[in-house]
Amino acid sequence: MNPLIYNLGRCSLFEGIKAGQLETIFKNVHHRITSFLDGELIEEQNNRCDEMLVLLQGHTKAQMQDFSGKVVTIETMEAPSILASGFLFASKNVIPVDIVSTDKSAVLYIERDGILWLCREYEVFLRNLLRDMGDRLSTLAEKVWMLSLNTLNQRLAHFLLKQSDDLGSEFELKTTKEELADALGVARPSLSRVFSEFAGEKIISQEGKLIKILDRKALLKKTGRN
């Protein structure tokens, strides 16, 4: 099978579209694939977004600079996934973040007219695209709420509870401590200190990236929502 078709078949954007249909689609839709090395810039902040970006291989991170010049990681992504789906159709269609490859990556670019054609021809594609945009809005609202929490203890407790809701009481962190500290808007040593506090209070256990929730009620109390 064509590697492009195989990777697209695993992407939620093309869920429900058969391999044969994908072959036909990509004979008619203008597209290109570009490869990137670890640390290479995929898209620069404030670039115009005239194409849909689909991560076919590798990992990326979205970054912004705060007012002090500190670089903050907003989101990390792994293939196969859609990058910046909502900006393509915005009135001001610019990408508000730097998208950086954190691995050997490959990105598929599909022109906006091709996306509009797909939405007209394949209802399942339109549904998948709208679902992705809705999920991203929900994730953004969750992040805004989390960053509104006053203390690092609250932010970390909320993050761990959310992870356990999705993955179970025992799970592996998908990011490094540095990336998580950026996402929570704190310094890495402060984050490590609170992890140690939670472990010392027997709320969690930690072995490398493996986290186990030992006392969910105590963790919930840390968020201030008890």
Per-residue pLDDT of 92-113, as tens digits, reads 888 888 899 988 999 999 888 9
The region, left, alpha or beta by phi > 0 then psi within -120 to 50, assigned to residue 39 is: left
Specify whether 7 is located in the same domain as 57.
Answer: yes
Q: Which of 102, 136, 170 is the last residue of a domain?
A: 136
CATH number for 188: 1.10.10.10
% residues pLDDT > 70 (the chain): 92
Domain membership of residue 144 (yes or no) is: no
Same domain, 170 and 66: no
Same domain assignment for residues 119 and 159: no
199 shares a domain with 100: no
Q: Which two tokens stand for residue 196?
A: 């140690």
- Looking at the DSSP bridge assignments, the partners of residue 72 are 64
pLDDT of residue 104: 92
State which of 67-71, 90-94, 144-148, 200-204 shows the largest mean pLDDT: 200-204
Q: How confident is the model at residue 74 (pLDDT cuts 50, 70, 90)?
A: confident
Quickly state the pLDDT bin for 67 (edges 50, 70, 90): low
CA distances from 195 to 29, 138, 143, 153, 199 (A): 49, 26, 20, 9, 6
Query: Do 104 and 174 fall within a single domain?
Result: no
- Same-domain check for residues 8 and 45: yes
Task: Give the structural domain span for 214.
Answer: 152-222
Contact (Cβ atoms closer than 8 angstroms) between residue 38 and residue 101: yes
The CATH number covering residue 18 comes to 2.60.120.10
Residues 32 and 122 reside in one and the same domain: yes
H helix and E strand count, the chain: 8, 11
Residues 87/45, Cβ–Cβ less than 8 Å? no
The whole-number pLDDT of residue 138 equals: 76
> How many domains are contained in the chain?
2
Per-residue pLDDT, 68:
66
Q: What percent of the chain has pLDDT over 90?
A: 11
For the record, the structure tokens of 59 come out as: 């990992």
Do 105 and 47 form a contact (C-beta atoms < 8 A)?
A: no
In a domain, 61, yes or no: yes
Establish if 141 belongs to a structural domain. Answer: no
Question: Are 114 and 182 in the same domain?
Answer: no
For residue 142, tell me if it sits in a domain.
no
* Spatial contact of 49 and 41, defined as CB atoms under 8 Å apart: no
**CA separation (Å) from 205 to 56, 89, 175, 178, 218?**
35, 44, 17, 19, 13
In a domain, 147, yes or no: no
CA distance 183 to 147: 9
Which domain-ending residue is among 136, 171, 191?
136
What sign does the dihedral 148-149-155-160 (CA atoms) show? negative
Does residue 62 sit in the same domain as residue 118? Answer: yes
Comparing C-alpha atoms, which of 21, 16, 215, 35 is closest to residue 131? 16
Instruction: Read off the pLDDT band of 146 (50, 70, 90).
Output: low
The whole-angstrom separation of Cα 171 and Cα 209 is 8
Residue 72, SS3 per DSSP: strand
Question: Looking at residue 179, what is its pLDDT?
Answer: 78
Same domain, 126 and 168: no
Report the pLDDT averaged over residues 132-156. 77
Residues 127 and 37 in one domain: yes
